[in-house]
Amino acid sequence: MNGDIKKSSISARCPVPSDQIPIKEYESMSESWFYSWGARDLHGYLVPVIGLWLLSWLVVGPMAAVSFMPAKMPPQFLISASLGALLLPTLALVQLYTGWRHVCDRLGQQAVPYEESGWYDGQIWEKPEDVYNRDRLIADYQVKPVLHRLQKTFAVICGICAFSLVTWQFI
């Protein structure tokens, strides 16, 4: 009951439209089918990423096979198709990173810009101290680990690309 009173008093003094409140944006992303990938456990995170990579092979594999016949040049075929298939998961991961970064930035700001009805009537809301502290904790302990995981994934993708390019020089 006390939590309901506290929530209603915060929302009563918050002029930001409901869909632009940083905590609501965070909750919406956490519940989203796509954006929740980043916040899942390691297995739940890797399955869709690897699934996208494998799905990309359906398009990229035949294109690579035309350039590098798998029977005659298997290393070139595998490297080119694998790198080409990384495009779709990389684009999905960039979208994940962009969305989570936006939410992290909004949670970490003391003053939150918002629009009442359109781009022409922007306002700024100063978060009360308790709301600011809560939002910072959520950003630090819920959102930043997702961003770090995505950054590590980008590093792995860059490592795969570098390894593939170096290997290409020796085949």
Domain boundaries along the sequence of the chain: 18-170
User: How far apart are alpha carbons 149 and 89 in whole angstroms?
Assistant: 14
Task: State the Cα–Cα distance between residues 89 and 70, nearest whole angstrom.
Answer: 23
* Average pLDDT value for residue range 78-93: 97
Span 142-156, average pLDDT: 98
65 by Cβ neighbours in 10 Å (0-12 / 13-18 / 19+) ranks as middle
Residue type for position 13:
R
Residue 5 has pLDDT above 50, yes or no: no
Q: Which has the higher per-residue pLDDT, 98 or 7?
A: 98
Per cent of the chain over pLDDT 70 is: 91
Neighbours of 50 (CB within 10 A): 11
| Band of residue 117 on the pLDDT scale cut at 50, 70, 90 | confident
Among 114, 139, 119, smallest CA distance to 19 is for: 114
pLDDT band at 12 (very low <50, low <70, confident <90, very high): low
Q: How much is the average pLDDT of 46-63?
A: 96
Question: In which residue are the tokens 């995170």 written?
Answer: 45
Which tokens go with 105? 């930035």
pLDDT at 144: 98
- Largest Cα–Cα separation, the chain: 72
Please, what is the end-to-end C-alpha distance for the chain in angstroms?
A: 69
* Predicted pLDDT at 1: 46
Q: Would you state the pLDDT for residue 138?
A: 97
Residue 128 gets which letter from DSSP?
A: P
| pLDDT for residue 119 | 66
Is a pLDDT exceeding 90 seen at residue 128? yes
